[in-house]
Structure 1
């Protein structure tokens, strides 16, 4: 009994002098160690609980798919983007990019010749995420505020360039009214985005793009009004063409058709109370006067 009482306090003191890595099922952690006066050195990637030296640090990153949303309103990772179309009109771009952080921990050599024993995740942490203070140092915690800044400067910046490049292939009206053109624009952005993003990460796929969803682009109010006016003019032209065809086949030709339309207009005005019918002797023309 005395031995047991001694062991438990000793075990508790031992843990008090340790650092514990404890990633959950949707996390991987990077362990860095060194004395209080030594430089920090990479130790290993961890996917399971691990008890380390008290001076060791752990940085946690997500293993599953994540969203980068951009648009108006609260809760977005970034404000809406803007792109210029083929006909030099600026459109607002909103939507969502689904991505996965590359958490590969196998040793590899980057294009500059530098070896990373902790793989692409170590490279991502040391070259990018550490500077933004993006990763929590305890398991099961949300990403820190710097994570959003990191996403804006990498995923957001790459997306902005890709949407700009592809929007230049279309006039604004195609993107706004043609579903097939808008879908092709979205597809082309998805095709281009990974390469643009790799250009920002030294040619290494540190972030994998899974999908791109672009909403219908927002356009200038003047363009909306112009489109409405154009559609109204097209409808008037179509109505005029119908009238022309009807008049050609109407008994009495165009004069007969015009007389018929005038009579229909009078009938509608009487029904609506816009004109008043005055009594006249039988056989005389009908006389109408404006209603009150």
Structure 2
């Protein structure tokens, strides 16, 4: 009897141990499966990452910002990381090989179309709360976050939020000036630049709807500051530039001719004054002497005069 009881207890113990073992193995398998779905993220000095938690079976929700130069951070299964640039960035509209845009066209007050090249330098506002707003409002719409080394979505975003406001600002400012003033007058160009900067910052902020694009020196705290614009002198069509050069050349020639005419008038006045004093023949003789056409020979006291034809020795007597 005791033997059977001991035998039954021993069997139940073995089954309990087996179940515990299977549960442990299952937990290890599940944990391994979970780890296999995890990933690690580390950030570069010029990079900030938004971490969103949530996988296939649960809604995504914002988790945290991962600051620049952060070591490896473990993300859960299904979690997503969105990378954005940290530090100074530039929207280049010079039309060069690596530029984001061609030069911008503007129309002057006198309806001349001109081209303007330049750049807008800024820092993306990486304050965690503001960056999250930017990502959810703009970044996701354009896929503006970085995937690898570059982001086509980032370039599309800049063309909308920088090029279009800049285009509006430059057109509005250029309508206040004639093309010759913009091209040739430094004072007018300075006024135009100030007006463009004022309108561009206003339009960029209005288009984005927030302080997402800050001064290049913005460090994440305090006032966001303004985007810095560097714009070149507006360039009119080549035909107008050539016409302006010809006009300036004609003005220079007219000025030179006026000076020549003034000199001639002065000389004539001088001749008239001489004629009043010396008479017509005396005035002509005076002019001939002054020009070297007539040579004056002093007369010695004894009255003898030696005349030597030009090119002969004056010491020979005739």
| 2:163 counterpart SS class | helix
Paired residues of 1:70 and 1:76 also in contact (CA < 8 A): yes
Q: Indicate whether 1:205 and 2:207 are aligned.
A: no
In structure 2, the partner of 1:226 is 243
> 1:29 and 1:147 mapped to 2: Cα distance?
15
| 1:103 counterpart SS class | coil
Alpha-carbon deviations, 1:133-185, whole Å to 9, x = none? 22125xxx433111111100111111111111111111111111122322332
Q: Indicate whether 1:69 and 2:92 are aligned.
A: yes
Higher helix share: 2
> 1:53 and 1:190 mapped to 2: Cα distance?
45
Paired residues of 2:55 and 2:77 also in contact (CA < 8 A): no
Q: Indicate whether 1:80 and 2:103 are aligned.
A: yes
Residue 15 of structure 1: CA displacement?
A: 5.4
Normalised by the length of structure 2, the TM-score is: 0.67
Residue 13 of structure 1: CA displacement?
A: 8.0
1:172 to 164, 168, 179: 179
In structure 1, the partner of 2:234 is 217
Higher strand share: 1
2:262 to 245, 252, 260: 245
Deviates more, 1:206-215 or 1:150-159: 206-215
Q: Indicate whether 1:128 and 2:148 are aligned.
A: no
Paired residues of 1:69 and 1:77 also in contact (CA < 8 A): yes
Q: Of the two, which has the highest radius of gyration?
A: 2
> 1:254 and 1:152 mapped to 2: Cα distance?
74
The number of residues matched between the two structures is 231
In structure 1, the partner of 2:46 is 26
Alpha-carbon deviations, 1:193-214, whole Å to 9, x = none? 2211111122x11112431111
> 1:127 and 1:36 mapped to 2: Cα distance?
23
> 2:159 and 2:93 mapped to 1: Cα distance?
9
Paired residues of 2:118 and 2:232 also in contact (CA < 8 A): yes
1:158 to 134, 155, 165: 165
Paired residues of 2:34 and 2:77 also in contact (CA < 8 A): no
| Structure 2: runs of 5 or more not aligned | 1-30, 215-225, 273-318
| 2:51 counterpart SS class | strand
> 2:137 and 2:116 mapped to 1: Cα distance?
29
> 2:262 and 2:227 mapped to 1: Cα distance?
55
Instruction: Indicate how the Cα distance of structure 1 residues 162 and 232 shifts in structure 2: closer, same or farther if over 3 A, else same.
Output: same
> 2:124 and 2:264 mapped to 1: Cα distance?
69
In structure 1, the partner of 2:14 is none
